[in-house]
Amino acid sequence: MKHLLSIADISREEAITILNTANELAKVSDTPMKKLPTLRGRTIVNLFAEDSTRTRISFEAAAKRLSADVINFSAKGSSVSKGESLKDTAQTLQAMGADAVIIRHGASGAPARLAACEWMSGAVINAGDGTHEHPSQALLDAFTIRKHLSHGKEDLAGLRIVIVGDILHSRVARSNVLLLTKLGARVTVVAPPTLIPYGIESWPVDVAYDFDSVIETADVIMMLRVQLERMSELFFPNAREYSRYFGLNKERLSRMAPHALVMHPGPMNRGLEITADSADSARSVILEQVTNGVSVRMAILYLLLAGDTSIEVGA
Amino acid sequence: MNTVLLATDMARALSRIAHEICERNNGASTITLLGIPTRGAHLAKRLAQLIESIEGAPVQVGTLDTTLFRDDLRLKAPRALMPTAIPSLGIEGRTVVLVDDVLFSGRTIRAALDALGDLGRPARVQLAVLIDRGHRELPIRADFVGKNIPTSLTQSVKVNLSELDGVDEVTISGEATS
């Protein structure tokens, strides 16, 4: 594994290796010395062509805990806003000696383009590309679910996971569906028909249009953000109607199984897809997702950068 | 392939090391055994049982993974991390006895010392190994050695333990001349 571009590219075993590595790295956060020398002297560039708080900070924290040098590069305030192409940006980063580029881009496939080309030799990590994938988010979600509900097993076999909301625009949903089913979970997506992507039959999921019908049997309810910025037309009549049919509120929360979890990748539209009391309830692991995000991203950086990836594992 | 230590030899060596550890430290109340995965962790558990039977009191035992502190990470394929489990009393002010199967270049032990430094400040650190095969690349020596086995660099030493390999034995393979 040289790059992390999408969940579709990685095998079940690789995913489990990442989760197990994250589990060990999470312990470092509990020790007085939170820094490891493992990636000392490596340079990691955060190339964010789209807004992000948590993913960028999470990758930055992960890189710094492994002693790597981090250069933050956002489209606003850089030459990208003057019209510099991805190619020129990549070649500049290569000339500066970047060992890895963590890229978020509005165009689906931008990280894959970067990885396939000759413009730079470092590792490419997809931190979210358009409406395609967001692999590190899916891995941290799987890690959080596994920690709470797998009872010591390495995978998520038999768990029922419900993903609710804007499936059409969500890269988080795409990566999660691929990863969670790869790990043996049963995934149901719930959304109004306008927010279900064309061709959903080819996904390994069940589709429901009635949120209330799947609440009691779910082990995890994952709410997605309504991505107002990606919506050019009206996908639902109004916000109040969306909340009424597809929002997580106190009443729906009370019907969940006793062990079931509430998740949200953030940032939340409180009052739209999730009410404040649901987001802050005892079932909610939303802040834990953020904490686990650092450990999972440390694992990704460690596995991609610490060793010589040109040697096959086990060789 | 040459078998240099049989199950009975290994049992005797471990029993002697257990006694030496108790003798050197006036009992076992201040010591914390930390095994280096994979085989060092099993040896540490065995030593802890032996010391418990000698002293009649429980012994602090755990594991310490050194992977993140190694200096040869870049030269090899990515490695999976092994568990680190520090026992309840921690290492602060304790006598830590590192346990590993084979002492060779000394680089694993250097990494272990760095890893310990990040966890706290032990009162002292000692090293117990089943096999010392020589060829040190760093100024490191063991306090307790099961058996010194002179080897050439081209040979490889393999410790088999019943927990993992079904049998207790130590074998050497390869040409004796380097």
Sign of the Cα torsion A255, A259, A260, A262 reads: positive
Q: Is the pLDDT of residue A291 over 70?
A: yes
| Amino acid of residue B152 | S
> What is the model's pLDDT at position A117?
85
Looking at the predicted structure, is the pLDDT value of residue B63 above 70?
Answer: yes
* % of chain A beyond a pLDDT of 90: 74
What distance in Å separates residue B73's CA from the closest CA in chain A? 5
* In the predicted structure, residue A312 carries a pLDDT above the cut 70: no
Q: Is the pLDDT of residue B178 over 80?
A: no
Cα A298 off chain centre by: 14
CA A86/CA A252 separation, integer angstroms: 45
Say yes or no to pLDDT of A66 above 80.
yes
Coil/strand/helix, residue A164: strand
Mean pLDDT value of segment A282-304: 95
Yes or no, beta carbons of B75 and A308 under 8 Å apart: yes
Q: How many Cβ atoms sit within 10 Å of the Cβ of residue B2?
A: 11
**Among B81, B86, B116, which would you mutate to test the A interface (most chain A Cβ atoms within 10 Å of its Cβ)?**
B81
Q: Span A268-276, mean pLDDT? A: 93
**Per CATH, is A7-134+293-305 categorized as 3.40.50.1370?**
yes
Chain A residues whose CB is inside 8 A of the B74 CB are 306-308
Chain A residue numbers with beta carbons less than 8 Å from the beta carbon of B69 are 36-38
Residue B35, token pair as written in the block: 């095994």
Q: With an 8 Å Cβ cutoff, is A52 touching chain B?
A: no
Q: Which residues of A are known to be catalytic?
A: 54-55, 82, 104, 134
Of A107-111, A117-121, A220-224, A258-262, minimum mean pLDDT range: A117-121
Instruction: For residue B78, say if its preceding peptide bond is cis, omega within 30 degrees of 0.
Output: no
Report yes or no: A303 at the B interface, CB cutoff 8 Å.
yes
pLDDT at A311: 65
The CA radius of gyration of chain B, in Å to the nearest whole number, is 16
A314 touches chain B (CB under 8 A): yes
pLDDT band at A228, cuts 50/70/90? Answer: confident
Phi and psi at B53, nearest 5°, equal: -75, -30
Specify the higher pLDDT residue, A85 or B170. Answer: B170
Give the number of beta-carbon pairs within 8 Å between A and B: 58
Token pair of A175 as six digits: 């990566």
Q: Which residues of B touch A (CB under 8 A)?
A: 65, 68-69, 73-84, 114, 118-120
Residue-level pLDDT at A32: 73
- Partners of B122 on chain A (C-beta within 8 Å) are none
- Over range A92-114, report the average pLDDT: 91
Asked if B78's CB is within 8 angstroms of A25's CB, the reply is no
Question: What domains, with CATH codes, occur in chain B?
Answer: 7-150 (3.40.50.2020)
- Looking at residues A9-22, what average pLDDT do you find? 95
Checking if the pLDDT of A33 tops 80, the result is no
* Of the partner residues A37, A309, A313, the one whose CB lies closest to the CB of residue B69: A37
pLDDT at residue A141 in the model? 97
Q: Which of B65, B66, B71, B74 to mutate to test the interface with A (most CBs of A within 10 A)?
A: B74
- A window 24-43, beta carbon within 8 A of B: 24-25, 27, 31-33, 35-38
Query: What is the percent of chain A where pLDDT is above 70?
Result: 95
Q: List the single residue in A20, A32, A37 with the smallest CB-CB distance to B80.
A: A20
Q: How far apart, in whole angstroms, are the C-alpha atoms of residue A85 and residue A149? A: 45
Is A309 within 8 Å of B77 when comparing Cβ atoms? yes
CA B12, B13, B16, B17 torsion: positive or negative?
negative
Burial code of A247-284, b = ≥16 C-beta within 10 A, e = fewer?
Answer: bbeeebbeebeeebbbbbbbebbeebbbbeebbebebb
Return the pLDDT at B1: 85
Looking at residue A1, what is its pLDDT?
81
* Residues A177 and A189: beta-carbon distance below 8 Å: yes
Q: Which of A22-31, A77-86, A138-147, A212-221 has the lowest mean pLDDT?
A: A77-86
Question: What pLDDT band is residue A231 in, cutting at 50, 70 and 90?
Answer: low
* pLDDT tens figures, A105-145: 999 999 999 999 888 888 999 999 999 999 999 999 999 99
The average pLDDT across B154-174 equals 94
Nearest to A27 among B74, B77, B84 (CB): B84
Of the pLDDT bands very low, low, confident and very high (cuts 50, 70, 90), residue A314 is very low
β-strand B95-103 against B31-35: which pairing, if any?
A: parallel
B61 sits in which H/E element? strand B60-63
* A81 pLDDT tier (thresholds 50, 70, 90): low
Asked if A228 reaches chain B (Cβ–Cβ under 8 Å), the answer is no
Mean pLDDT taken over chain B? 94
Cis, peptide link before residue B84, omega less than 30° from 0? no
Out of B69, B77, B81, name the one closest to residue A311 (CB): B77
Residue A233, pLDDT score: 63
Q: What is the pLDDT of residue A315?
A: 34
Mean pLDDT check: name the lowest of A90-99, A275-284, B3-12, B152-161.
A90-99
pLDDT at A73: 82
The shortest C-alpha distance from A13 to chain B (Å) reads 12
Query: Chain B residues with CB inside 8 Å of A37's CB?
Result: 68-69, 114
pLDDT computed for residue B152 by the predictor: 93
Closest-CA residue to A259 (of A235, A292, A242, A282): A282
Average pLDDT of A39-47? 93
Region A5-25: mean pLDDT is 95
Sort out which chain B residues have CB atoms less than 8 A from A307's CB and list them: 73-74, 76-79
ipTM of the complex model: 0.81
Amino acid at B110: R
Q: What is the pLDDT of residues B69-124, one digit of tens each?
A: 998 888 888 888 998 999 999 999 999 999 999 999 999 999 999 999 989 999 99
Tokens of A127: 């931190």
CB–CB contact A306 B120 (8 Å) = no
Q: Where in chain A is the domain with CATH 3.40.50.1370?
A: 7-134+293-305, 135-290
A9 — phi, psi (to 5°)?
-80, -20
Q: B4 φ, ψ to 5°? A: -105, -15
| Topology of domain A135-290, CATH | Rossmann fold (3.40.50)
Q: What is the pLDDT of residue A167?
A: 94
Residue B19: the pLDDT is 97
**What is the model's pLDDT at position A79?**
67
Contact residues, chain A, for B68 at CB < 8 Å: 36-38, 302, 306
Mean pLDDT of chain A: 91
Query: What is the CA B110 to chain-centroid distance, rounded?
Result: 13
Query: Which sign does the torsion angle of CA A83, A88, A90, A92 carry?
Result: negative
State yes or no: pLDDT of A8 exceeds 80.
yes
Query: What integer is the mean pLDDT of B4-26?
Result: 96
Across the interface, whether the CB atoms of A24 and B84 are under 8 A apart is answered: yes
Q: Higher confidence at residue A315 or residue A252?
A: A252
pLDDT at B76: 85
Beta carbons of A99 and A23 less than 8 angstroms apart: no
- Percent over 90 (pLDDT), chain B: 87
The secondary structure element, H or E, covering residue B22 is: helix B7-24
